[in-house]
Structure 1
Amino acid sequence: MNLCQLRIGYACINLSLKKKYRTFKLKTIQEKNIEKIREVIEHNIILLGDIIYHNIKDNIYVYRITAELIPFIDNQDMKNIFKEYHILESNKIKGELERIKKWQQEYNLRISMHTSHFTMLASPKEKIIEKSIGELRAQAEFLHQLGGENLVIHIGGAYGNKTETLERFKQTIKNNKDQLDLDLLTVENDDKTYTSKEIVEVCKTLNLKWVYDFHHERCNPSEDTNIVDLLRLHPPSKCHLSSGAIAPNKPQHADFIEKEDIKSLQQQLTLAGINQVDIVFEAKQKDLSIYEIMKPLKNGFWKIKSTQ
């Protein structure tokens, strides 16, 4: 049996380049400091292009963008500033966005975003749901400009009753189909509350994609479920992988990925009949964690260093 082929990437920060995304406070928007807003957003999008260019040179075709790339993207005053001052229409920004989308198409890059943990479509509070929908809509619009494929969300807390919360989550999405980009929306299993099995059931009902997080499944396993069978019947859109810093089944992420963890995930995917997959390494050492245990092949694929 041929092993599942792995395209490996990482999330948000590139440690090799030693450059950081910038931000500003809400006060900057309230005071309409347009120069500061323009400067920060131009810096961030140019850095995004630099990171993706660096990734391609290093055979990394999978990258998850920070949700903070454009600070306060869903804030109404910020939206008004964008419209009035044409922030995203400057030659610098337009040129960079076009360049990134061209690379995405040329190299079949997997570009995604994980929305904020404050984005809660299952909240019992209507105002939080409204704010969450606004944030997801703004992020989806931006992702489309890059050729992104996944806007990842969690269901969130149980709010005292998991069954009611799951129904509220499903109803929120059904009631807001015209505002949510269901082609991008991708739901992930978490390490405390909602298992892979529960996420798959929700995604089947709503016809959404899902992310399989190997470490979350280990911390919060799907009871009475063979995970290989689940993966075979419902292949994930992509995978996330981290190793436990304290213990294998504890949520906190380690600096690097344990070799046995990537081997175990690859074995699960192989047994499930999945030929290839995109994996985001969620290690604290970001891109450096890839080089630590993986060897590049070509076209974005990698193999475990010890694998012959």
Structure 2
Amino acid sequence: MKIRFGYVANALGLWDASPSKSLTFARYSALPENERMEKLIETTALNLNHTKRILYYNIAHEIPLYRFSSSLVPLATHPEVMWDYITPFKEQWQELGTIINQFNIRPSLHPGQFTLFTSPRNDVTDAAIKDMDYHYRMFEAMGVLDRGIINIHIGGAYGDKEAALCRFHENIKKLPHDIKESMTLENDDKTYNVEETLSVCEREKIPMIFDYHHYMANKTEDNIAQYLESIFKTWDHHQEVPKVHLSTPKSEQAYRSHADFVSFDFILPFIKLAKELNQDFDIMVEAKQKNLAMHKLVEDIAAIRGVKRVSSSTIEW
């Protein structure tokens, strides 16, 4: 069994390298009209350059997974802005894609909590489609659609989970087929548990990302062992191996919040269970200390007897 590791967005330790420099609509609106586009271009160019620096950090540290910031382009989907964020940066997007393909990096994106397909309001669904299109177009501009994934949650329950799930299956039909082919679904820490998310994924033929922390916060009556093999099978038609999210609670009082690092004791039962399936998979570390937490977790798992560390961020067991 081979496990590869990655982290989310920011490489801590790189000086001034945030890929999520922002430009709020209030600031944008306060600018003279002839300066607005200039500021959009300046902020986006900075985010793309910082992303390139982070990718080179990942290459130097043999990190094969990376989740891009969803905030690379400010105001990309704002209805009063809606600007062309592809053409002015055609070379920069292509350069990022060249790096990804040359060094076999697995890229992903994770739209925010308001990108959902269960709402009874058409404008919410339309906004979700627009946001998915934005994420898709970034991967398209990089030329990495064959390896990139766009991960979301099912959405809200709106007081009637059964009706909301029916709306999901209807609303997802409005999403262009090519974009749907790039998406994955993840179990929630509050609303849709592992069993419910798996059922949707199997029906829609969407790969499922298993989030262990969310599972622990929103357990089913059955043990996860009954679902994990089926979860991994949702990836059978995908060219990449299954993917798992790992994080640990910040505290008992803030159980759903992510801690700075990943507690080895917390995730060890899952690692042992996955070992029984002998299935290669990837782990995205979702911790406040980003790449530093990822490195620490790799060291912790590599210390298990029988585990072999084959690179900075890959182990075999």
Among residues 99, 103, 112, which one is paired with 1:103 in the alignment? Answer: 99
Per-residue deviation, 1:177:
4.0
Per-residue deviation, 1:298:
4.5
Alpha-carbon deviations, 1:3-41, whole Å to 9, x = none?
x32211111222121322311121455546111111000
Conserved? CA contact 1:185–1:208, under 8 Å: yes
Q: Compare relative contact order (CA 8 Å, sep 6+) and give the higher one, 1 or 2.
A: 1
What does residue 42 of structure 1 align with? 45
What does residue 136 of structure 1 align with? 132
Among residues 62, 65, 79, which one is paired with 1:59 in the alignment? Answer: 62
CA separation in 2, counterparts of 1:278 and 1:41?
A: 29
Per-residue deviation, 1:67:
1.2
Q: Equivalent residues in 2 for 1:159-238 (5 A)?
A: 159-174=158-173, 176-178=174-176, 181-224=179-222, 226-235=223-232, 237-238=242-243
Q: RMSD between aligned alpha carbons?
A: 2.3
Aligned partner letter, 1:41? T
Segments of 5+ residues of structure 1 without an aligned counterpart are: none
Alpha-carbon deviations, 1:158-195, whole Å to 9, x = none?
10011111111111012x14366111111110101111
| CA distance 1:249–1:204, shift in 2 (3 Å) | farther
Q: Equivalent residues in 2 for 1:2-151 (5 A)?
A: 4-19=1-16, 20=18, 21-27=20-26, 29-30=28-29, 31=33, 33-79=36-82, 81-82=83-84, 87-90=85-88, 93-146=89-142, 147=144, 148-151=147-150
Aligned length: 292
Q: TM-score, normalised by structure 2?
A: 0.84
Conserved? CA contact 1:115–1:153, under 8 Å: yes
Segments of 5+ residues of structure 2 without an aligned counterpart are: 236-241, 303-308
Per-residue deviation, 1:247:
3.0
Is 1:302 the counterpart of 2:299? The answer is: no
Is 1:247 the counterpart of 2:244? The answer is: no
- What's the % identity of the aligned pairs? 27
CA separation in 2, counterparts of 1:298 and 1:97?
A: 31
Is 1:265 the counterpart of 2:265? The answer is: no
Aligned partner letter, 2:183? L
CA separation in 1, counterparts of 2:272 and 2:167?
A: 35
Conserved? CA contact 1:150–1:186, under 8 Å: yes
| CA distance 1:263–1:5, shift in 2 (3 Å) | farther
| CA distance 1:62–1:248, shift in 2 (3 Å) | farther
3-state SS of the aligned residue for 1:72? coil
Aligned partner letter, 1:264? P
Q: TM-score, normalised by structure 1?
A: 0.87
3-state SS of the aligned residue for 1:247? coil
Conserved? CA contact 1:228–1:271, under 8 Å: no
CA separation in 2, counterparts of 1:248 and 1:112?
A: 30
Aligned partner letter, 2:24? K
Conserved? CA contact 2:209–2:245, under 8 Å: yes
CA separation in 2, counterparts of 1:184 and 1:300?
A: 28
| CA distance 1:293–1:186, shift in 2 (3 Å) | closer
Greater Cα offset, 19-28 or 6-15: 19-28
